[in-house]
Structure 1
């Protein structure tokens, strides 16, 4: 891939991961400074952890830590180690994205533990820079979807603390008033949009420049993950015997139909951030737009869609197989050549244990990567949660695919919003696959 496009794809991944994690990066003063050590000097064993997030207050008591920090605290106490946070800031690294910095640091063995996006997991895993986690006790409890998404060359090289599920957020009151059932197929979705537009909702689907690819992934991979031989199909894609463009074309054509019919405002979506713009944020919450797309956590927080004045339901994206959640995830990984590799593996086994996963999931009210951990969700999320618990989903990030999906497809969807044809978008996908 062209270097500039790689940077943009990684920037998109970092921004999305930051939204999903709901964590902002604090300012670092200089490279390598230990910004968040609790009880410095209490332990001679230190594990260096590089991530895009920081404790709000490095000197805060453990009870004030975020969900992730609570699990780190569990490992510190149980193992008698100190986990030193080393965090990314764009100010320090200027033009370098978080992913680019992760690649540099991991290849130089600067840290022991990392929080990585999928494309970085693929790169570092294939180069042998990430330790195999399959022997850890916590790895035995993972959902199969998590294992598949984080396996590179047969090795489990990353484990997340959260599975991020994307779905359609629907104003059920508007649908009821228009006598509409919640759509399951692309045809039903188009019919809903037609009726909604006739009823005076000029732009039935609120969109931003980040998440329209969820429509594409749902339709592209519904059969791959729910009907066929997933491993064989991915092997055929990696070998070039099958084309990503053949899988993704129907989703791009569906988006083009939505744009042509005026159901999505492409011009506005191209420049809108998440939760902003026409149909986003205030418009959806005010009842002026019936449908938006967002991730699971947006239903849990008042800063997004957590307290609507109407009945809201979160459903899967329309496919010929029915409603389909789209899953993405970041992952914790251990540097294979790092000085603290062995201690970092012990930390991983604690922070990804069922006990820690339960704490994390209860604190953030999210889907756990562990098949043994379930947390009750808010009422609007029940339809989406039922699908995920039934193993009905598609993956938008899969380390087993040699073409990174989430960031690349996001950028090519933006080309479509900007006026590129579906054929031109497919040609870009073919270029990426040929290069891979």
Structure 2
């Protein structure tokens, strides 16, 4: 059972990070983890070791996401006359270990200088005080507040991404117009849209998969926590056990249960669908008016970048209106890195506004810097407007003592497979009690 759970968590984070750099964490490549993937023609050059899930792009190979990162790395290499050596995770090298397991081991044994980490790993290693406080970087002062909030542990900014990944509802605007429906803001408005679609012969108004339904929960659970001016105090109350995660989560789970009970979500089918692969065909064919996905899917031709209808991407319904859900990974430096000063200089360059502008323009994404803006397609403007207004909820927050994204997804999966809302809330209480016992 333990191996099965590891595999599921590994797949889960692969789905999450797909929206960030098209990472394939579950299994990719045949490169040995400690192989230097850059020809070392000049052995006198300084080396910075980067551990991540993908190797450096090879010549003449098209990989937009990876190429964008490589371009920023090359800026640092040229500026400081050094080489960033990519050390790569592969499942075959680590057998049953997940990417997170390997990162934990390598950081604790100080094996590399720079790491790309998932939120739960950022949380663990930040709590162990093994990661450098990146507020020392000049580029840190330009970061969006959402980045600082998501990756701050015990008051220290321990990881920074190059982009902000936002999840939203992808809507067929033409179908909404056909039935004179306004784009929904609140849970009640969205429920009414589903009722109208159902009554007009749309068998399943919401196309869903087993990974992303938790975004409905996050939007309702944390809308006021992140947008009410008391975020720090409310999270502290959760971490101390003065408040319960289950109390925040219950309304979202009850809402999902109602969507399932009314036939607006096919729970049995959703529980078997992988992200986009299952529900996209009906959405693209105009049979399903609503799906959910991450920002980059609207730009990708293999996802929803080419539709025959008017596409709109909005936030998930909440009591505060349309709410983007943001998930975050980040680059981190080990406090005792062998090449600490050079690694700080490299990361500062990679995260500079100049580098992030190049990255964002190449990948058409939301930059981690508040100074960098890239024109988005019309379909994404409703989601982009909310983020620019600094309105969002976090699906991953390293400052919370219970990991959010993976745990919530797994508990939503239990709901899809017949668990009651009370049983799901008991699972959150158990996770919180375990976290309190560790602290």
With 45-54 and 230-239 compared, the bigger mean Cα shift is at: 45-54
SS at match of 1:99: helix
Q: Tell me if the contact between 2:31 and 2:88 (Cα under 8 Å) persists in the aligned partners.
A: no
The root-mean-square deviation of aligned C-alpha atoms, in Å, is 1.9
SS at match of 1:193: helix
- 1:18 corresponds to which residue? 18
- 2:266 corresponds to which residue? 265
Q: Please say if 1:193 is aligned against 2:194.
A: yes
TM-score (norm 2): 0.95
Aligned counterparts of 2:133 and 2:58: Cα–Cα separation in 1: 33
- 2:256 corresponds to which residue? 255
Aligned counterparts of 2:141 and 2:299: Cα–Cα separation in 1: 29
Aligned counterparts of 1:312 and 1:303: Cα–Cα separation in 2: 15
**C-alpha distance 65-172 of structure 1, shift in aligned 2 (>3 A):** closer
The alpha-carbon deviation at position 56 of structure 1 amounts to: 3.8
Aligned counterparts of 1:260 and 1:115: Cα–Cα separation in 2: 40
The alpha-carbon deviation at position 50 of structure 1 amounts to: 0.6
Aligned counterparts of 1:359 and 1:365: Cα–Cα separation in 2: 10
Q: Please say if 1:329 is aligned against 2:328.
A: yes
Aligned counterparts of 1:65 and 1:23: Cα–Cα separation in 2: 9
Q: Please say if 1:222 is aligned against 2:223.
A: yes
Q: Tell me if the contact between 2:57 and 2:63 (Cα under 8 Å) persists in the aligned partners.
A: no
**C-alpha distance 61-45 of structure 1, shift in aligned 2 (>3 A):** farther
Aligned counterparts of 1:388 and 1:162: Cα–Cα separation in 2: 13
The alpha-carbon deviation at position 180 of structure 1 amounts to: 0.7
Q: Please say if 1:9 is aligned against 2:9.
A: yes
**C-alpha distance 64-226 of structure 1, shift in aligned 2 (>3 A):** closer
**C-alpha distance 73-65 of structure 1, shift in aligned 2 (>3 A):** farther
SS at match of 2:92: helix
**C-alpha distance 291-63 of structure 1, shift in aligned 2 (>3 A):** closer
**C-alpha distance 371-63 of structure 1, shift in aligned 2 (>3 A):** closer
Which sections of structure 1, spanning at least 5 residues, go unmatched? none
**C-alpha distance 65-196 of structure 1, shift in aligned 2 (>3 A):** closer
The alpha-carbon deviation at position 12 of structure 1 amounts to: 1.3
The alpha-carbon deviation at position 94 of structure 1 amounts to: 1.4
- 1:378 corresponds to which residue? 377
The alpha-carbon deviation at position 3 of structure 1 amounts to: 8.7
SS at match of 1:205: coil
**C-alpha distance 65-145 of structure 1, shift in aligned 2 (>3 A):** closer
- Report the number of matched residues: 432
Aligned counterparts of 1:89 and 1:30: Cα–Cα separation in 2: 7
- 2:184 corresponds to which residue? 183
- 1:34 corresponds to which residue? 36
Aligned counterparts of 1:202 and 1:94: Cα–Cα separation in 2: 43
